[in-house]
């Protein structure tokens, strides 16, 4: 019997053909991962800070790939070459090989030290808090289950949507009101944990205007998956316009709008005002600040588009729409909901 005959018999041509289909299917599946139009693609950096992580990750991945192929190749080669050929055969017993052992200790150590130097360099680089008049500061607070955004210099407070100017360093301070969350806009930055009684920092900078989607990336309770986020990047002039609209004092519902006026009264009598803030009218601090609600496109952890239909569904029974929602079912009638929505419509 010639060497290798057994192998050919075990993985014969028929078996290879059986393997072809799963291999083909897997390659199509993996090709799907490379689509850079995916909204939360961590391999599609859209700003200088995301690019820095990317520039570290790609060479490390390449090195890991080479090591993988090398090690797996040697394993497969050894398994085939040194397999047991007869039942009474025993392998040659080897007791130590100084050269081989030195080789597979020193080579990985050198690779790891190299990777470590670049990793620490990138960490230090990303950890630097940018300074300067043009830097926009944002205090981000994680709540179960939504994000609060406060712009201390612009005197703006909003929720769910983080608005930023393009080409500008955004110095983010991360805090939590309750449990550990993780702030993750994959195209703009890596994940940073948001920990109670601790401040963490992150810098983002978006090259182009647009919406960048993200997600809380640390399990934080029953609606963790409903704790989405979006970063809306504007051209600087548009961002100034957004700031102006969001820093303006709120309008009172027009007196000739009886629905909105009734809604405003309900906002207080039904207890909304004790959880939500509306500048000059209510000072609740449990839920999102609603002063300029209509400046946003989404609500409730960025899960719902802000429109009449969704608001109506939400007000009927919030915990049904977002499990665990701190906002309870207020048992509102359809007329009350109509009035409340008319009032919310005035919060521009
Ligand atoms: Cu917040 Cu998961």
216: CA distance to ligand 1 center in Å? 4
Ligand 1 pocket residue status of 143, Cβ below 6 Å: no
Protein residue closest via CA to atom 1 of ligand 1: 181
230: CA distance to ligand 1 center in Å? 14
Q: What is the dihedral of CA 65, 66, 67, 72, to 10 degrees?
A: 80
Quote the pLDDT of residue 1.
43
Residue listed under structure tokens 């950096």: 45
| Residue 233 bridge partners (DSSP) | 164, 210
Ligand 1 atom index nearest CA of 179:
1
129: CA distance to ligand 1 center in Å? 24
Quote the pLDDT of residue 283.
86
Burial class (CB in 10 A: 0-12, 13-18, 19+), 47: buried
The Cα–Cα gap between 327 and 322 comes to 9
Q: Please provide residue 152's backbone torsions phi and psi, each rounded to the nearest 5 degrees.
A: -60, -35
Quote the pLDDT of residue 33.
58
Quote the pLDDT of residue 72.
97
β-pair type (304-305, 192-194): unpaired
Q: Please provide residue 241's backbone torsions phi and psi, each rounded to the nearest 5 degrees.
A: -65, -40
Please write the tens of the pLDDT for every residue from 57-71. 999 999 999 999 999
Please write the tens of the pLDDT for every residue from 103-151. 989 999 999 999 999 999 999 999 889 998 899 999 999 999 999 999 9
121: CA distance to ligand 1 center in Å? 29
- Comparing C-alpha atoms, which of 243, 140, 226, 232 is closest to residue 187? 232
Ligand 1 pocket residue status of 227, Cβ below 6 Å: yes
The Cα–Cα gap between 167 and 234 comes to 10
Quote the pLDDT of residue 26.
74
Ligand 1 pocket residue status of 172, Cβ below 6 Å: no
Quote the pLDDT of residue 16.
59
Ligand 1 pocket residue status of 164, Cβ below 6 Å: no
Residues in the chain, pLDDT under 50: 1-9
């Amino acid at each position: 019997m010639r060497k290798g005959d057994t192998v050919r018999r075990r993985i014969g041509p028929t078996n290879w053909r059986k393997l072809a289909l799963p291999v083909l299917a897997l390659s199509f599946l993996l090709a799907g991962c490379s689509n850079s139009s995916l909204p939360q693609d961590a391999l599609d950096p859209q700003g200088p800070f995301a690019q820095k992580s990317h520039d570290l990750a790609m060479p490390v991945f390449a090195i890991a790939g080479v090591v993988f192929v090398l090690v797996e190749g040697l394993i497969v080669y050894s398994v085939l070459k040194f397999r047991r050929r007869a039942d009474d055969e025993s392998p040659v017993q080897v007791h130590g090989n100084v050269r081989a052992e030195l080789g597979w200790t020193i080579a990985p150590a050198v690779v790891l030290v190299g990777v470590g130097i670049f990793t620490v360099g990138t960490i230090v680089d990303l950890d630097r808090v940018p300074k300067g008049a043009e830097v926009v500061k944002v205090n981000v607070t994680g709540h179960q289950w939504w994000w609060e955004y406060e712009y201390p210099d612009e005197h703006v407070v909003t929720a769910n949507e983080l608005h930023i100017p393009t080409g500008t360093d955004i110095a983010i301070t991360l805090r939590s009101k309750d449990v550990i969350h993780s702030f993750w806009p994959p195209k703009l930055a890596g994940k940073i944990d948001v920990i109670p009684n601790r401040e963490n920092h992150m810098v983002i900078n978006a090259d182009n205007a647009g919406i960048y989607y993200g997600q809380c990336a640390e399990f934080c309770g029953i609606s963790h998956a409903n704790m989405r986020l979006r970063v809306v990047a504007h051209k600087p002039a548009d961002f100034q316009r957004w700031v102006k609209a969001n820093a303006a004092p709120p309008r009172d519902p027009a007196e000739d709008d009886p629905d909105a006026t009734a809604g405003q009264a309900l906002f207080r009598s039904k207890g909304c005002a004790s959880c939500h803030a509306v500048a000059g009218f209510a000072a609740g601090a449990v839920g999102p600040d609603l002063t300029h609600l209509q400046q946003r496109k989404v609500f409730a952890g960025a899960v719902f588009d802000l429109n009449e239909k969704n608001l109506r569904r939400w007000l009927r029974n919030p915990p049904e729409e977002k499990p665990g929602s701190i906002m309870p079912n207020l048992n509102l009638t359809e007329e009350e909901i109509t009035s409340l929505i008319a009032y919310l419509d005035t919060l521009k």
